[in-house]
Structure 1
């Protein structure tokens, strides 16, 4: 009895229980127990079934969550908050209790709580927690505003995390896609200097050796090569044979650089007979110089072609990045939904390597007014979830059409599907069907808010194994887009 009286006195000092009556306090002490924790002891783990509500009596709890393999600090609950330790803006009452959200939503704990130093908590069983909300209205009056603050704070954290993740996805995708054209530019730039030197030396020899007729023959051969595109679906073995024949023939004629010449001509499907026919009639002492001049000219043109082709590829990637992030544009604007979908696919291309993408875009779709950057985060989340559900291999289908007054976007995958008992809850905050540490339970919730609150649309899901669809409907002509809140 003495322990219960002492506990009741301690409870009176906590804001959550400051206004309970004596009888309510007696009842609380009868249905709760104290638990002492040493430094590092775990109070509850992320994903464990929620069975208790916890009140912090003494010490400190560190709340963390593993996200994408990294442990992130969510908050600290302490009986002795200090200025500058990250608690600004947090309601004082929020320091003294935890675990209410999973009890109210019927799920598991959404984070891991561990003691920092010697800590004492009051443990209230699940049923007693619900009884407390009914029997002690003053407790509910303190708890519910804190709960609302926590949900808002968690959404802000998740939104910031989603932004960082989107930027990481953007950076990774851009780096991956830029690697090939950037490497081509670097190689061409490195080889261009020596190639120009060789061209200058060979041109001097060629100009001094060839007469007007021979120079005209070489110019015509170059023009014909330029007009000849590489063969479509060429047999690699046949091209290799062409290259070997050219190399051997040019070597026999005394050429100093037969290999680059043979490679450049074979790529266009031109062989020894073609080359021999074009230089017929050249004097024996001029022919080797002509072949070397042709070789270095084709080499220089090849390097120039590499630079020329890499430039548009880089420009296209920059344009896709700009479309994805909507740089240098007003946050709310008129935009094409399909452009956003395609920009998102470009940014996620490294992750889509094993996925077959099917685009079913209706023609002549009207533009939508809203926040394209935020919708691109929605597309990123939905596509990323679909790829995860397919383990990186399957068919991803993107459909767009205009229905009534709404733009409709459907994203389908051939993955494992969403369990029937989870389908109605996937848009709830903190609810996730992924393994612990692989999801925050806020990605779909934030996407839902972006669609429904920011764009006055709707978001639904239907699923069966091998056939899951997320449907987003956005009004094209509606009232002004609302702010979030």
Structure 2
């Protein structure tokens, strides 16, 4: 630290924080405070260090940052004279941890009026006893409410996402179980029919030909294209008639399986020529089992792939296996969020994607952005009820990546629109919302990503627009907040 002259009482009065104090109080501050200079690029104080001083900016520019998962996140940047930071909670004494809650750095050479934390605390207690009681109540009350409601908000969101994911996982998992049970029956039937065919009554040449036909049937079933309902019915009639003419038992049970495997009458004729009419029934049934087995394995593969995709979407949504801050594909994050919320979106709501796929990946906190998308999509779905259109759009806006979440709900009344980002403010009925979703989203977008979030609303057309910097350049505008 470099100490220089003290301020006079009149100079202290020029700082907006102290302009209403009387002469005695200004003199007290001038006597106990000192002027210090920090060089550009150096830390004024570090987050987590004991909070020993209260700083008021006299000249220069500073930034405030918070540390998260090893990264320093710039919260604000300002050159406004009179903004303050440091031991702002000294008046609470040992009831809270007296450590600097953030890191202040001088962007350029900066000059400060510095007051020891103990002196600042004494002044607050002696000069503003009623205000002090109000501040204490506000601080501890808000902290307690924020903790409880924040936990509740996370639990509710987690419960909704878990329910949706469980529902989505249940469908392919149940399909895989059903297909596995059916596959076991088909394999058992194949073993039985093979024993009938290979009991010595079918010579080696015909048996080899039958095995080759089986391989061809399996390949044909794997590559078969689905038919329309009308075409499939016609094909089943044709095959059923042929099987009935050749005295194959239960022909109408076999026909749908053979049609699904792409089998036609010419192929069945080849089977009859290969094994002979005496063995045709067992041979066709064996080949039908082989085709059905291949189709069931395809169902299992599809179900397992769907489970894998859902797990991948959950990992993408949570970002647990990725660095907190990295280059992300916003479209992938949006799709992962939609997948996680699919079970909560009613069938009557149509989801429309209008993505500009030419947009680049951007540096961001993926998990936090997914929380923003969750809050915005969830609010849009709640606003529309059981039917409407949810539109997710992306486009470039200058040097910013714009994400728009639009719904066709009743809209947000103009008189409450300015309050929607306030903590605990909600338009939902008591017990249905905490009022923290948009506040959390605002802080993630504006404070953490140095972006912006806006809303345009009229009946049938409500649009939340999130703007995120495409590059990591720090903002140059000054903060209007009193605390730096």
Q: Name the TM tier (shorter chain).
A: 0.5 to 0.7
Query: 1:224 deviation in Å?
Result: 5.5
Q: For 1:307, which of 300, 313, 336 is the aligned residue?
A: 300
Kindly tell me: are residues 477 and 155 of structure 1, through their superposed partners in 2, closer, same or farther at Cα, counting changes over 3 Å?
Answer: farther
Q: 2:453 aligns with which of 450, 459, 469?
A: 459
In the alignment, does 2:401 pair up with 1:410? Answer: no
Q: Distance in 2 between matches of 1:158 and 1:450?
A: 17
Pairwise CA distance, 1:278: 3.5
Pairwise CA distance, 1:221: 6.9
User: Which segments of structure 1 move beyond 6 Å, counting only runs of 4 or more?
Assistant: none
Corresponding position: 1:278 with 2:238: no
Matched, 1:393 2:384: no
How much is the aligned-residue C-alpha RMSD, in angstroms? 3.0
2:162 and 2:133 map into 1 onto residues whose CA distance is 44
Contact 1:360 1:397 in 2 (8 A): yes
What is residue 316 of structure 1 aligned with on the other side?
309
Q: Any conservation in 2 of the 1:217–1:278 contact (CA below 8 Å)? A: no
- 1:274-328 superposed Cα distances (whole Å, 9 cap, x missing partner): 4543334352211112112112212222222122222211111111010001122
Q: 1:225 to 1:192 in 2, by over 3 A?
A: closer
Match of 1:158 among 149, 160, 169: 149
- The alignment status of 1:368 with 2:362, answered yes or no, reads yes
Deviation at 1:247, TM superposition (A): 4.3
* 1:169 aligned partner: 160
The structural deviation recorded for 1:201 is 2.0
CA contact (8 A) 2:217 2:287 kept: no
Q: Distance in 2 between matches of 1:241 and 1:450?
A: 59
Shift of 1:388: 0.9
CA distance in 2, matches of 1:476, 1:389: 30
Q: Which runs of 5+ in 1 are unaligned?
A: 1-90, 95-135
CA contact (8 A) 2:412 2:457 kept: yes
Correspondence for 1:333: 326
CA 446–203 in structure 1, closer or farther in 2 if over 3 Å, else same? same
Task: Describe how 1:132-143 pairs up with structure 2 within 5 A.
Answer: 138-143=129-134
Structure 1 length as normaliser, TM-score? 0.65
Q: 2:437 maps to what in 1?
A: 443
- For residues 361-391 of structure 1, give each alpha carbon's deviation from its aligned partner in whole angstroms, at most 9, with x where no partner exists: 1123222223211211111110011011111
Answer yes or no: is the 8 Å Cα contact 1:261–1:294 preserved in 2: no
Structure 1 365/149 Cα, relative in aligned 2: closer, same or farther at 3 Å?
farther
Q: In structure 1, what is the Cα distance between the partners aligned to 2:227 and 2:272?
A: 31
Whether the aligned pair in 2 keeps the contact of 1:199 and 1:296 (CA below 8 Å) is yes
Q: What corresponds to 1:345 in structure 2?
A: 338
Structure 2 residue runs of 5 or longer lacking an equivalent are: 1-91, 96-126, 476-483
Give the distance between the partners of 1:200 and 1:221, measured in 2 at CA.
14
Alpha-carbon distance between aligned partners in 1 of 2:190 and 2:258, rounded to the nearest angstrom? 18
Query: Are residues 222 and 443 of structure 1, via their aligned partners in 2, closer, same or farther at CA, if it must alter by over 3 Å?
Result: same
Alignment check: 8 A CA contact 2:226 2:260 kept: no
Q: 1:328 to 1:421 in 2, by over 3 A?
A: same
Instruction: Give the Cα–Cα distance (whole angstroms) in 1 for the partners of residues 266 and 136 of structure 2.
Output: 85
In structure 2, C-alpha distance between the alignment counterparts of 1:413 and 1:153, rounded to whole Å: 34
Distance 1:163 1:274, change over 3 A: farther
Q: CA deviation at 1:250?
A: 3.1
Question: Hey, what does 1:23 align to over in structure 2?
Answer: none
Distance 1:393 1:325 in 2: 28
Deviations 1:11-38 (A, max 9, x none): xxxxxxxxxxxxxxxxxxxxxxxxxxxx
- Alignment-derived partner of residue 254 in structure 2: 261
Give the drift of 1:230.
Answer: 5.0
Partners of 1:153 and 1:342 lie apart in 2 by: 35
Give the number of aligned pairs: 348
Asked whether the equivalents of residues 153 and 436 of structure 2 are also in contact (C-alpha less than 8 Å), the reply is no
Q: CA deviation at 1:396?
A: 0.8
- The answer to whether the Cα contact below 8 Å between 1:423 and 1:462 also exists between their aligned partners in 2 is no
Cα deviation for residue 213 of structure 1 reads 4.7
In structure 2, distance between residues paired with 1:158 and 1:370: 26
1:259 & 1:158 partners in 2: Cα distance?
62
Note if contact 2:392-2:405 (Cα within 8 Å) is conserved in structure 1. yes
**Counterpart selection for 1:290 from 283, 286, 293:** 283
Kept in 2, the 8 Å contact 1:257–1:292? The answer is: no
Secondary structure of residue in 2 paired with 1:334: strand
1:184 aligns with 2:175: yes
CA distance in 2: counterparts of 1:205 and 1:462, whole angstroms: 74
TM-score (norm 2): 0.65
Q: 1:472 to 1:149 in 2, by over 3 A?
A: farther
